[in-house]
Structure 1
């Protein structure tokens, strides 16, 4: 326990940790304040006026479309025929769905439809912080020689590295839960005062909770990867360099996949897997394919990416990288 306390003090006394966490709090505050100021709670009269305006615009569009179609049908054999399509039935016909009354209202925060995006935003923010702090925490120890000094009185290498990793992940888990609770409370207040909490059922809250758990897993994975990469390279720059290299590699892989004719090149992008993990699934289309049907026309082939597959991929990559860091700690020369 003394090693855990010592590593905790070392983690939170570092200036880099304070700067990053302060930045996270400032960004969170800016998002909350910005959302509060950019939304307003609409009244029943405003909703009624928006519905009336939408209905009026729809009727005007219908009348305009009917007039245009009549002119199109009367155009053949006249100089005006070139201004109209050969088949007048292909002309646009407005539908009621194209005139949603909500488009005519002031911006209002709908907790049910918008909070999932806010959970993902917080998860990405905390994951970025966890990656940077985890990498810097162990990277600075290697770079300054602190790791070698620590091993003089704690010669158990794996215990030392494992404790450092556990401290980073443990504190970020607790911090994520705490900030997640504050985040939820803030947006619930915004919805009640500057938006709506309509249709918020127990099932919706359960869905938000599961999204939050996936976000927590994303934070833990990011912290573990940053820590392990920096430990492998014995420098913080190793983790940052790997991140930059991954971005460049992703661009190359995407280009090569497209040039080689591989189906679903989007499925090779790491950010897409993170998106799938948070939003449960994503349908990727092969725009070069076309399955024609008399009812649906030309529809491309699709591939559905699921959060289960993304989770397995994240777990495998994390296990390999962390395992490599532990193996390196045990086998390589410390000096």
Structure 2
């Protein structure tokens, strides 16, 4: 428990995390100001009921990538500064240390996400009350918003673990950011260009991790064929299972690498 508390404090002391967080808050305030100005001076009328889920998703997407970069920087900084070697002198059990670091990163990421969401909701609710309308915030609306938030929180946890795991495996922040950037760039080329175009795979979208992430967030998606007028369904459960499997493999690889490699 003391090790976990120390790792949480270590995460909170990261300057990059505070810089990224304050930058996000700045952009959030700017977007709220733009929406408020448009709602008060034009025909556009902001509706909290209609538009809050969309704003939630937009900010959660941005925050997810910020969390990934931050998580990678936490682990990468430990390697580049030599702190990892020093900590192993006091905590020689590598798996215990790695588990504490991963748990601390996830805990801080979840709390920070919830704080950001509460701030986002409070600001846009104020815009709705003053410059627009709140609409009918029924029980089902709140349940849908809570379900959406829960699904995104799970995805953000996965993204935090992905950033930390790749950085642990590569021993550098840049390795994690490069891998993620390369995947985002090469994924459509490989999925639609190589699998769909060269190998004539009927449903190339099934080989993209983004499809399963979308299925988890949306409660299921239909993947269309590029050759026939047909589609296949990917359920939310399948999306979660695939993402969980990928993260489990990634974390296992990071753990094995950390356990076996010399410091």
TM-score normalized by the length of structure 1:
0.72
1:231: Cα distance to partner?
Answer: 0.1
Structure 1 runs (4+) deviating above 4 angstroms are none
Matched, 1:201 2:130: no
Q: 1:241 pairs with 178, 185, 188, which one? A: 178
State yes or no: 1:273 paired with 2:212. yes
* Structure 1 residue 203, shift from structure 2 partner: 0.7
Q: After TM superposition, give the deviation of residue 287 of structure 1 in Å.
A: 4.9
Spell out, residue by residue over 1:88-114, the C-alpha distance to the aligned partner (whole angstroms, 9 max, x if none). xxxxxxxxxxxxxxxxx9222222332
Q: Which of 212, 215, 234 matches 1:305? A: 234
**Quick check: 2:209–2:243 contact (8 Å CA) kept in 1?**
no
For residues 34 and 312 of structure 1, what CA distance do their matches in structure 2 show?
39
Query: TM-score with structure 2 length normalisation?
Result: 0.90
In structure 2, C-alpha distance between the alignment counterparts of 1:158 and 1:15, rounded to whole Å = 26
Query: Which of 1 and 2 has greater Rg?
Result: 1
Does structure 1 retain, via aligned residues, the 8 Å contact 2:191–2:205? no
**1:267: Cα distance to partner?**
4.0
Q: Say if 2:191 is the partner of 1:262.
A: no
The separation in 2 between residues aligned to 1:186 and 1:116, in whole angstroms, is 14
Q: Provide the residue aligned with 1:253 in structure 2.
A: 191
Q: Which has the higher contact order (CA 8 A, sep 6+)?
A: 2
SS in structure 1 at match of 2:225: strand
Unaligned runs of 5+ in 1: 42-104, 290-299
Secondary structure of the 2:201 match is coil
Change (3 A) 1:225 1:285: same
Task: Choose between structure 1 and 2: higher strand proportion.
Answer: 1
Q: Alpha-carbon deviations, 1:124-155, whole Å to 9, x = none?
A: 12211211111011111112221011111111
**Correspondence for 2:221 among 282, 288, 302:** 282
- For these two proteins, the number of residue pairs brought into alignment is 261
Relative to structure 1, the CA distance from residue 211 to residue 108 in structure 2 (aligned partners, 3 Å threshold; closer, same or farther) is same
Specify the alignment match of 2:7 in structure 1: 7
| CA drift at 1:40 | 4.0
Q: What value does the CA root-mean-square deviation take over the aligned residues?
A: 2.1
Asked if structure 2 preserves the Cα contact closer than 8 Å seen for 1:283 and 1:304, the reply is: yes
Is this contact kept in 2: 1:254–1:268, CA < 8 A? Answer: no
